[in-house]
């Protein structure tokens, strides 16, 4: 994973951590359930965006080899192996 993607991922995770802490505080304070659910929805969206970042990075760099930092793994994969890797990756992400 290149430095830009890594930094983006770290920033997203820090925001997600802040959102979780904020939801915990709302629960501790006994806030209105609908307000908490609104924040849960925002958290879910943030996690989805983080997942998409990781998914696209994996496909671009690991499966199709657009980044040399992952070595020769992707260069030695056949078309069938690449397709299998994509299927496994999507299956894990979409569960």
Q: Kindly report the pTM of this predicted structure.
A: 0.83
Over residues 70-92, the pLDDT tens digits come to: 445 666 788 899 999 999 999 99
pLDDT at 62 exceeding the cut of 80: yes
Which helix (DSSP H) or strand (DSSP E) does residue 44 occupy?
A: helix 33-57
Residues 14, 15, 18: CA angle, nearest 5 degrees: 90
Over residues 13-31, the pLDDT tens digits come to: 999 999 999 999 999 999 9
CATH number of 3-94: 1.20.58.1000
């Amino acid at each position: 994973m290149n430095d830009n993607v890594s930094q983006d991922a770290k920033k997203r995770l820090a925001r997600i951590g802040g959102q979780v802490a904020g939801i915990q505080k709302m629960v501790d304070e006994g806030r209105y359930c609908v307000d908490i659910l609104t924040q849960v929805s925002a958290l879910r969206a943030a996690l989805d965006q983080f997942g998409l970042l990781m998914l696209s990075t994996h496909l671009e760099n690991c499966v199709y080899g657009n980044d040399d930092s992952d070595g020769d793994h992707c260069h030695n994969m056949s078309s069938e192996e690449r397709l299998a890797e994509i299927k496994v990756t999507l299956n894990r992400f979409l569960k």
